[in-house]
Structure 1
Amino acid sequence: MADLYPDKEKAASSSDGGVAVTEAHIEERAPETVIVQRFGRFGGWMAKLFDHGVEARGIERVPEDERESKNVWNNLLMWWSVNTVLTTIPIGVLAQEFYTLTFPHAVATIMCFGALGGVCTAFIATLGPQTGLRTMVITRFSSGYVGGTIYSILNILTQLGFSTTAVILGGQTLASINPGTLPLVVGIIIIGLCSLVPCFIGYNMVHIYERYAWIVTFIVMLFLWGLGGRAGFDIGAQKGLEDHGRALSADVLSFGGIVFGSFTGWAPVAADYNCRLPVSTPPLKVFLLTFFGLFIPICFVEILGAALMTITDPAYTSAFAEGSTGGLLGQVLSPWKGGGKFVLVLLALSVVANNIPNTYSTALSIQALARPFALIPRFVWTLLAFAIYTIAGVAGREHFSEILSNFLSILSYWTAFFIVIVAEEHLIFRRRGGPLGGYNLADYDTPGRLPLGVAGILAGCFGVAGAVVGMSEVWYTGPLGRDAGTELYGADLGFELAAGFAAVTFLPLRYLEIRLTGR
């Protein structure tokens, strides 16, 4: 740690910010004590929560000698649980539903764009053990305090969007088990409440749940593969519906952007769940376990969704037309009668594993907005996040496919330039022997010692510009996106251009910022 961040001790003892650093140091070491003292008459109640296992730590840095977890394999199991879930299936379904891709082209797109997205997210995950910080706080070292606030806002919207789609799909599936008996609204609330409990308790409970949740859902996915094969996968059934030439390329690029977003949607939270690993944990090990924890289950389940769309039996096509993905899954499991309904319950509850990191990290991102937000305990923001996405799920429950398609496309735009900016800062400017030579980690909550953020914010703006000119959505198609596709349908180049524009502009702007300000 000392080699990577050579100025840490100097920063901690400097006279111009000693009070702030000392306060931050106390919060890092004993966050529960600080919170209890801060809230006076409510302090005793909060102390009881902490005594019963509720996590007190929010976005405060985890000191090296207080890292709790030494099992880096939890990284693999967590992401495996998070993505071996019901909510991953509809992404594969979109390949045929919206983009008319045949099964082979859907598989190739999922694996290629998935590998790219997995690499990006796995890199961000390696920063957790190295810094002991949450992801949104790490962004302050490349884009300043203001830039970090902007990223936190984007991440709050991202995680709430993920949560909304999760509770809608879970609620739809519960409601489809015995139509007419359980209202969809009640199903959505049930999924939301189940997601809330581990997140309210905190980091350790999240990892305990995710360590084992994948076992049942992975077996269920194998059941779906088997029952789908029994119904009859017809790999060539969609050949006549698929576009050709330039239109096919546009379909692949647009669906690829959605797949990329399904992987990089976890990048803004990837460091949140391993910041308590020892600093000595090899970054390559963290990278590989995160990558395969994402790539294998996401590809496995998204390809399942694409495969189920190749079933041509009229009962199955009618079930999808009437009940979307939930209806199709109900039909796939129908040969098992009561047993199939039980499996549907397990599938519906599987989204809890997916929604837990969304809920937990939303609270952390709210704390990262600014110091006043960080003063309020994490679990309070967890309750607020639960209320927001549950209400949004109830309001948007009839428009799941449209929400999923548009949300994941837009999501890939900002995560692309966010990843590029953080990566360039870490690999170029903060490397040993680089212009800054490392991180002064004690500065994470001291705006005066962080970068001004002008370079990061401007590069992000250029990334937005790249996304705008390259995007292809139902409601808008950029000029380059239109040129890359056909007259009727553009090709979505949004995340590629967002990353490219940000990468090219951040380097010179950051060099200039460092030369003028020294930070």
Structure 2
Amino acid sequence: MTVAEPTTEGTYRDRIVAVEPGGNEYIAEGDRHGKPSQLLWTWASPNLEFATIFLGVLAVSYFGMNFWQAAGGIVVGAGLGALAHFFLSARGPLLGVPQMVVGRLSFGYKGNAVPSTLMAITAGVGWFATNSISAAFALSTLFGIGPLLGLVLVVTVQTALAFFGHNLVQAFERLAFPVLAVIFAITSVLIMSEADLGAPALDGGVGGVGGFLLTVGTTFGYVAGWAPYAADFSRYLPRDVSAVRTGLFAAAGLFLACVVLAIVGAASVTIVSAAVTDNPTDAFTSSLPGWLAAATLLAIAIGAVAANAINVYSAGMAFVTTGVKLPAHIARALATVFFGLAGFLVAWWALADAATSYKSFLFLIAYWVGPWLGVVFADQFLRRGQPVDGLLYDKTYSNRPGLLSFLIGLVVSLVLFCNQELFVGYVVRALPDLGDIGFFVGFVIAAGSYLILCRSRIDAQKKAV
């Protein structure tokens, strides 16, 4: 059975200061607008922020990497994450629906509620809290106010942007991009010129292959963490735009911003500083001239808003996709307000130990995104050339092997390869130098399971069309 896809009404189009109507419907031709090139700043702006910088700080300070080892791990992890983003963004204009709606092909209408819920919590609470913390610290240092007041200010702004929806978020990313790019370019040049790139690895870190794989894992977790949002911001493009250009611009913005700032973060650790502070943004800017430190702190706050406007917007979209019943015309907007409040409360709680919370959170993302990507890409491979119209909103459509494959990949990767303080996987206990490769294992096992369990099922669907 297939059903007609609910669509937008064609009245929103490129209106900016207007609440985006509806929730996760198919975007009608009358509402399509824009060019693939706009995805460059859509995905660069939210990654020109302190959370990206801190990836490099983690690699050197916690994982025992020297600068060059950290840079290598960052490039590999970011490259893998950006590759996933390329393929998912490229399908947005053709399918015209949010990324988590596309996931119904892989998991079924009801089964898709599981990854959609994980996505909503990850984006709307986890990432929202993580980025809000860095913005709060930046505003605290810049204006001499308490971190809590800074948190209230930044949460208010980013929730308001997401409440209005897609077009206002896109407009903010476009306006923020040149400001962030110029400030961080100047900061990057100065930090790289002062850094000791040949400094040995710090004592006390993991080091070796394990430290390198941890660097790859955290970077992949960060970059691939955007994958469940990918089509959300390409679905409004006209249906006939180039899929390759769409994917390239989205992946390029994501990859370049993440690699450059994460490498700068790694270099910043090698600068000898007399500053002693529990504020990570203050520590990062302590070696900069006063005017540039102030500009960088402002850029950190703007970058966090750019990231969280997307996070809470897509969290609301995913929440609606779980099947929760809300009035259709305000469903997404109401969900963004809910996640803005929830993210604020978690950020308030995590202010006390931001570094540890961030490191653990990056791996939590990778653990579920790895097998999720495995299932989604395996499904995309099996369905190549198959029309999917009518399946995405069919409440009777089921694909239990998809959810089973996801859970198999998730459980096996956690039980055997998890490397966290609360639990160490059985393989890692025997091979402690392995680091944490759970995300790769989860991807491979989930994809392999799906190809085995679903090939005949999807072949039969193709013949029935």
**TM-score above 0.5:** yes
Q: CA RMSD in A?
A: 2.3
SS in 1 for 2:351: coil
Counterpart for residue 362 of structure 2: 408
- In 2, Cα distance between the equivalents of 1:467 and 1:151? 17
Equivalences for residues 23-102 of structure 1 within 5 A:
25=6, 27-29=7-9, 53-63=18-28, 65-102=29-66
Letter in 2 for 1:172: F
By relative contact order (CA 8 Å, sep 6+), the higher-ranking structure is 2
Residue 505 of structure 1: CA displacement?
0.6
SS in 2 for 1:234: coil
Please, which of 387, 410, 413 is the counterpart of residue 464 of structure 1? 410
Distance 1:242-1:132 versus aligned 2 partners, 3 A rule: same
Counterpart for residue 390 of structure 1: 344
Distance 1:85-1:339 versus aligned 2 partners, 3 A rule: closer
- In 2, Cα distance between the equivalents of 1:515 and 1:346? 51
- In 1, Cα distance between the equivalents of 2:442 and 2:66? 28
After superposition, the C-alpha distances for 1:367-424 in whole angstroms (9 at most, x for unaligned) are 1010514735211111111111011111111111111100111111211111121111
Structure 1: 5+ residue runs without aligned partners?
1-9, 13-20, 33-49
- In 2, Cα distance between the equivalents of 1:200 and 1:193? 11
- In 1, Cα distance between the equivalents of 2:294 and 2:459? 64
Letter in 1 for 2:352: E
Please, which of 203, 206, 214 is the counterpart of residue 177 of structure 2? 214
Residue 350 of structure 1: CA displacement?
2.2
Q: TM-score, normalised by structure 2?
A: 0.92
- In 2, Cα distance between the equivalents of 1:120 and 1:350? 23
Counterpart for residue 236 of structure 2: 276
Counterpart for residue 248 of structure 1: 208
Distance 1:31-1:506 versus aligned 2 partners, 3 A rule: farther
Letter in 2 for 1:383: V
Determine if the alignment matches structure 1 residue 445 to structure 2 residue 393: yes
Counterpart for residue 237 of structure 1: 199
Determine if the alignment matches structure 1 residue 198 to structure 2 residue 198: no
Percent identical pairs in the alignment equals 23
| Comparing 193-202 and 253-262, the one that deviates more | 193-202
- In 1, Cα distance between the equivalents of 2:16 and 2:34? 23
Kindly indicate which of the two structures has a greater share of residues assigned to helix.
Answer: 1
Counterpart for residue 3 of structure 1: none
Counterpart for residue 310 of structure 2: 357
- In 1, Cα distance between the equivalents of 2:152 and 2:55? 23
Structure 2: 5+ residue runs without aligned partners?
none
Counterpart for residue 170 of structure 1: 135
Please, which of 474, 480, 483 is the counterpart of residue 427 of structure 2? 480
Distance 1:385-1:239 versus aligned 2 partners, 3 A rule: closer
Distance 1:514-1:295 versus aligned 2 partners, 3 A rule: closer
Residue 512 of structure 1: CA displacement?
4.6
Distance 1:234-1:379 versus aligned 2 partners, 3 A rule: same
- In 2, Cα distance between the equivalents of 1:426 and 1:103? 38
Letter in 2 for 1:176: T
Counterpart for residue 187 of structure 2: 224
Equivalences for residues 345-384 of structure 1 within 5 A:
345-370=298-323, 372-373=325-326, 375=328, 376-384=330-338
Paired residue total: 458
Larger-Rg structure: 1
- In 1, Cα distance between the equivalents of 2:454 and 2:161? 40
SS in 2 for 1:205: helix
Residue 205 of structure 1: CA displacement?
0.8
